[in-house]
Amino acid sequence: MIYAIDENAQAKAPGPGGWRLEHSYAALPAVLHVAVGPTAVRAPRVVAWNRTLAEELGLDAEGLAGADGGGGAGAEIFAGNVLPPGSAPLAQAYAGHQYGHFTTLGDGRAILLGEQITPRGERFDVQLKGAGPTPFSRRGDGRATLGAMMREYVISEAMHALGIPTTRSLAVVATGEEVWRQDGARPGAVLTRVAASHIRVGTFEWVAARRDEAALRALVAYTVQRHYPERAGAENLPLALLEGVGERQARLMAQWMGVGFVHGVMNTDNMALSGETIDYGPCAFMEAYDPATVFSSIDRDGRYAYGNQPQIAQWNIARLAEALLTVLHPQEEQAIALANGVIGRFGEGFQRHWLAGMRRKLGLFNEEPEDGALVEALLAWMHATKADFTNTWAELETLAAGAEGELGVWRARWQARLARQPQGAEEAGRLRRANCPAVIPRNHRVEEALAAAEQGEVGVMERLLAVLAAPYDHARAGAADVAEYRGPAADGGEGYRTFCGT
């Protein structure tokens, strides 16, 4: 297999700094990438450095972090001023459906340095986001603001701590340069994003739109090798890929829904084939429960509202199926039937994962047919009373204990249901606590940390990151220094808006 991944890569010794970069993506057909390097910036300064992730990647966390609070090796590398040894930078080509409309895109401001092989033999893309223009920049400047990159850093790391598959953030480096946005000059920054890969639904749409069947087949084979090796022996590789992606996305959507995450811009170019959450632009966590919750200022019709996310994921899977149609089966009718089978099963898969997650949040170990209705009744109460989603789940016992009215009635049902399983209250409580986060990145807390970081004060953000690193530690969540991160905004956060792609 031409595009097979080097299974012996981990045997190679790392270079200086712990870098072990490979370039399997660059071996794919040329329509998929363009060689381009980052553009140097004036005065790089590390604002955030993820030491734990650096260590997991096998990087010399200490040497690179010589950059902490100033210049140095890490600052130069993660700003794009100096290339790490063995890098071969490129921008990836892709297309995508944005708000339902097809467009060609590509990395307009992101540059892939290569794939780092970790000491455990895993392969991760290391990408600089905001590293300067590429042939895909269109009218954009190729840059990013410090606020937006810090936002991605904070939320992606929070998602990771919540146990949800996601791209990670290794570093944010302020560039010392200004970028111009609608609201004037903002401090610029480069984010180092680490991902299982950056292959998107839109990557397949790009190749399909060019009617390049050889490239499409190569991309299918590559993606299966890289993300679904357990399916590599399948007779119909494109179908196996489509099924795998459908299953992972169904699970991912259930995980998002379980913590109140609103991605905000689920365009097909922002859906990763690896099953990781990707592209933290206008995303935010819902506070008061309402399926219609939308934060993105440009999502006026609520296409990407909290409650729509599973259907949108299914819609995106349908776009992937369309892109794969010519290779799914030589006969179009049969190809469509295969595609429809996968698309049709998505809803079921999501529902199964969602209910399993909700059972855990309720402390239920076994299954009863009425469990779905029990969850729906609680959600209906939350909706009607505008209850805080996270805190209601986290404090359900105490909240419901003295409740009268609807919640009181619901509590009696829940208690009766708990009594019908062999596990006791203590075990149920433990299951609940492991599945109901005590802390999430509250919008006003994130904004406060970003504003401080823009002013050069990173302490606020570091404290927030420390709290977000242990979301299921309920014992610690009771302490005063964590408790202050648990309340919703004083004004209830109504009308909170996020802004995209800056």
Quote the tokens at residue 412.
Answer: 């009696």
Residues 19-48 that bind ligand AMP (CB under 6 A): none
Q: Which stretch binds ligand AMP (CB under 6 A): 234-242, 265-273, 321-329, 357-365?
A: 265-273
Selecting among 6, 107, 183, 269, the annotated active-site residue is 269
Does 141 sit near ligand AMP (CB under 6 A)? yes
Classify residue 111 by burial, with Cβ atoms within 10 Å: 0-12, 13-18, 19+.
buried
Q: Check if 269 is active-site.
A: yes
Does 385 sit near ligand AMP (CB under 6 A)? no
Where helices occur in 270-403 by DSSP H, the ranges are 309-328, 332-362, 371-385, 389-394, 396-401
Measured at the alpha carbon of residue 306, what is the angle toward residues 305 and 309, in degrees to the nearest 5?
85
Q: Which stretch binds ligand AMP (CB under 6 A): 27-35, 64-72, 108-116, 475-483?
A: 108-116
CB of 139 vs ligand AMP, minimal distance in Å: 8
Does 299 sit near ligand AMP (CB under 6 A)? no
Q: Which stretch binds ligand AMP (CB under 6 A): 141-149, 230-238, 464-472, 478-486?
A: 141-149
Residue 152 interacts with, from ligand AMP, Mg ion, none (CB under 5-8 Å by kind)? none
Question: How many angstroms separate the Cα of 476 from the Cα of each of 225, 251, 362, 443?
Answer: 42, 29, 21, 21
CB of 267 vs Mg ion, minimal distance in Å: 7
Residues 472-501 that bind ligand AMP (CB under 6 A): 500-501
- Please pick, from the candidates 45, 123, 143, 263, the single residue that binds ligand AMP as defined by CB under 6 A: 143
C-alpha span between 260 and 130 (Å, rounded): 28
C-alpha span between 456 and 442 (Å, rounded): 21
Classify residue 110 by burial, with Cβ atoms within 10 Å: 0-12, 13-18, 19+.
buried
Does 22 sit near Mg ion (CB under 5 A)? no
Which one, 279 or 388, has the nearer CB to Mg ion? 279
Which one, 282 or 493, has the nearer CB to ligand AMP? 282
- Please pick, from the candidates 54, 59, 105, 428, the single residue that binds ligand AMP as defined by CB under 6 A: 105
Q: Beta-strand (E) ranges in 131-167?
A: 144-145
Crossing angle (nearest 10°) for helices 213-227 and 309-328: 120
Which one, 192 or 270, has the nearer CB to Mg ion? 270
The CA R_g of the chain, rounded to the nearest whole Å, is 23
C-alpha span between 128 and 162 (Å, rounded): 24
Does 106 sit near ligand AMP (CB under 6 A)? yes
Does 279 sit near Mg ion (CB under 5 A)? yes
Taking alpha carbons only, the member of 259, 230, 287 closest to residue 163 is 259
Q: Known catalytic residues?
A: 269
- The binding site for ligand AMP (CB under 6 A) comprises 105-110, 137, 140-143, 265, 269-270, 279, 281, 500-501
